[in-house]
Amino acid sequence: MKKHIICLVFLFLCLSVLGQNSKDDFYRTIPLAQNINSASGKPFVLSSKTKIYCPKNNTDLNQIAVFLSEYIEIAKGIKVQVTNSLVKENVIVLENNLKNNNTEAYAFNVNQNKIFINGASGAGTFYGIQLLRKVLMENETKPEIELPAVEITDYPRFAYRGMHLDVARHFASVEFVKKYIDLLALHNINTFHWHLTDDQGWRVEIKKYPKLTQVGAVRTETQVGKQAGVYDGKPHGGFYTQEQIKEVVAYAQKRFITIIPEIDLPGHMVAALASYPELGCIGEGYEVYKKWGVSDDVLCLGNEKTFTFLEGVFSELIPLFPSKYFHIGGDECPKKRWEKCPKCQAKIAALGLQKDSHHSAEEKLQSYCMSRIEKFLNEKGKQVIGWDEILEGGIAPNATIMSWRSSQAGLEAVKQGHKAIMTPSSHVYFDYYQSTDAVAEPLAIGGFTNIERVYSFEPVPDGLTENERKLVIGAQANLWREYIDTDEQTEYMVLPRLAALSEVVWTNANKKSYGDFLNRLSSFLTIYDKLKYNYAKHILEVSPEYKVDTENGKLILNLKTSSKSPIYYTLDGSEPTLKSEKYKESIIITGSVTVKAAVISENYKSKVFTKKFDFNKATSKPIVLKNEPVDRYRFNGGKTLVDGRTGTIAFSTGDWIALYKEDFEAIIDLKSVQQIKEVSLNTFTSPNDWIFGPRQFQVFISKDGINFTQVHTEDLKIAQKDDGPKIINLKAVFATQDARYVKINAPIFEKIPEWHYSAGQPTFLFVDEISIN
């Protein structure tokens, strides 16, 4: 009898724990709240009889109450009334008097009679209703819905949680910008970085300089994709009037989103130069840039009219944007015009700027410009943000650094006592491909940033003191739109990666788990469906993982999905169906094969994953690299070159490895002496990405791994200015030889050529599949 009683008690405790967990799960949306604690008592029943209460004279809370009423109607089809009269039961109470040092914190408490959302400010309360909105939308539509009793305390990890939108390359309507802001609000993003000007278009009305929109807002035609010299023959333009700017800013403020405008200077200014040619070093012949990339034409910093112009522009923008921050760019500014410009050289001399071991005189001239504009904005009550290039030549005294090329620049900035916002292209550039199957994706600028990589992003670098860590004020994702020309594609590139970013910047790092995030994301996607957002569905499709077993000469393919339906696959190139092999364990590959796989159920079939594996004598053989690839492009190291997979122009997908400042040298062990007569290596060039390929291709063979004989050498030309991304197959063909070891040398071009906007900097060398036959 005792045993039976003990078992019953144990069973009761287990069921209680499970029930408790299921209650907690109800509120585990994205981003994950910091503390969720189930409470005792009956649930709150939300119905058409429910009221929303907020104090009468609180403008913020009354606006938030209206939002909540709209959210509930969208989520559940229930019209809930807002009242300023106290209600004792079946009420949602909104307050903003929570005592918390974090002004965006909120408490969210549910019992049988009420839901009480209390923020430390209006913003905190707003995030509380976002939580309620999301859990309602993630659950089934019913006339009444029960919300379990709970006590939640929540707050953001970072004060700056940003998302960027480039409207210079392709214009976005006011209506879409508002939709974009709504999207940010859904994800608890509090900062909208609005990139308003660039070489390809000026998008904001400046009354003192009307030609900026009369001329600078329209380009005559646009480069077609990545086809250098090919244009569509169609004018592209658009701009925002100052009244429209005010309208959008007010729209964002109601959603507790700060808009930071960016006027990129002193480079990325061709649209302004086309409007006012006297502001350039040459002074004539400019047109709004109709191709992508970076122009050598920049503002003339030896001309005082340039600073009069900039101060005039900012003087009109300051009343439009209440943000304490203004972004002044500073990135990708070629110095060639300044080197030859008499006015710029005279300014350098007058300022006493001299080249030193770290910076050129021209880099210091740019620093002078940034500091001068910063001083002007400081006097107007504004602080500046600049891209990490403003560290070069000496940083503007009070500037905040937006670290995009890597986290290293942000680390250096905080070491110098500056605030930093982390936005490294390696993890949060949403214009990069989000799938390894780049051919099946909309055209993108390149790179690879899937949702897992975004989620793995840690904004605070290692090696900082506690005080330095506090200077990392947050992080941001960027969306550059050279190749994104529709609203639908913009949404596709942002979602669901924005969900991952939202948790990176909101939830404490020790509470994050990618597996748990994926489980929650599958429910969160129903919100996108209900709001009719166009989002990428890769997590519901087949995702591959590749391994190379060089000891046993085989490739290992693992397949996974976040879908609840199973994966089916074929190895003969045929389309998978429900009758195909069901994926249960790793697929072992020992010869050339085409794998096709899909998530399939009775009513659903995902996009088909297709991967061709080509075997040759080098495939899955031991390989040793003399120099290790850079961390960002290391992936599986040397094994990446013998995994049977050929990379595409999406160079960050894991199919390529890259070296930086170092030569490529590899030795492949065929494991026995064999006859060979052909050795090839793929390389990739993309000048706009600093990728220039090798300057030589050399092949050596050996029977013992010690004494090597050269069988091929070839000098190669560096990529040219108008070259787009290109895969180059380097092939050595020679008389049949006996060899066990094959050594390949591919020395790097040491410096970026003079015509490039980053002339003199080191280059990247990308290499891929080695083939030996």
CA distance 673 to 104: 68
CA torsion 289→295→301→306, rounded to 10°? Answer: 10
Phi, psi of 112 (to 5 degrees): -60, -30
C-alpha gyration radius of the chain? 29
Residue identified by tokens 């090696």 is 463
Cite the beta strand spans of 305-356 per DSSP E. Answer: 325-329
Per-residue DSSP letter, 767 = E
CA distance 735 to 283: 60
Is 538 catalytic? The answer is no
| Catalytic annotation, pick one of 104, 138, 198, 769 | 198
CA distance 236 to 244: 19
Per-residue DSSP letter, 231 = B
CA distance 620 to 52: 64
Residue 362: its H or E element: helix 361-379
Q: What is the DSSP string of 635-664?
A: TTGGGGGGSS----S-TTSSS-EEEESS-E
Is 70 catalytic? The answer is no
Is 268 catalytic? The answer is yes
CB 61 within 8 A of CB 94: yes
CA distance 150 to 204: 47
- The two structure tokens encoding residue 745: 């040398």
HSE at residue 604, side-chain half, CA atoms within 13 A, is 10
238 by Cβ neighbours in 10 Å (0-12 / 13-18 / 19+) ranks as middle
- The Cβ of residue 614 has, within 10 Å, a number of other Cβ atoms equal to 14
Residue identified by tokens 């989520």 is 75
384 by Cβ neighbours in 10 Å (0-12 / 13-18 / 19+) ranks as buried
3-class DSSP state of 427: helix
State which amino acid sits at residue 95.
Answer: E
From the list 638, 636, 640, the residue with the least C-alpha distance to 623 is 638
For residues 119-143, one letter each, b for 16 or more C-beta atoms within 10 angstroms of the residue's C-beta and e for the rest, the string is: bbbbbbbbbbbbbbbbbbbbbeeee
3-class DSSP state of 673: strand
Residues with Cβ < 8 Å from 199, sequence gap 6 or more?
A: 168, 268, 269, 270, 271, 288, 289, 294, 295
Handedness of CA 322, 325, 331, 334 (dihedral sign): positive
CA distance 697 to 699: 7
From the list 141, 121, 113, 133, the residue with the least C-alpha distance to 187 is 133
CB-based contacts of 703-709 (< 8 A; 24+ apart in sequence):
703/673, 703/738, 703/739, 703/740, 703/741, 704/740, 704/741, 705/667, 705/669, 705/740, 705/741, 708/741, 708/743
CA distance 711 to 699: 6
CB 561 within 8 A of CB 539: yes
- The two structure tokens encoding residue 172: 């976005």
3-class DSSP state of 547: strand
State which amino acid sits at residue 377.
Answer: L
CA distance 218 to 768: 41
| Catalytic annotation, pick one of 154, 166, 199, 332 | 332
| Catalytic annotation, pick one of 268, 327, 359, 756 | 268
Query: What residues are annotated to the active site?
Result: 198, 268, 332
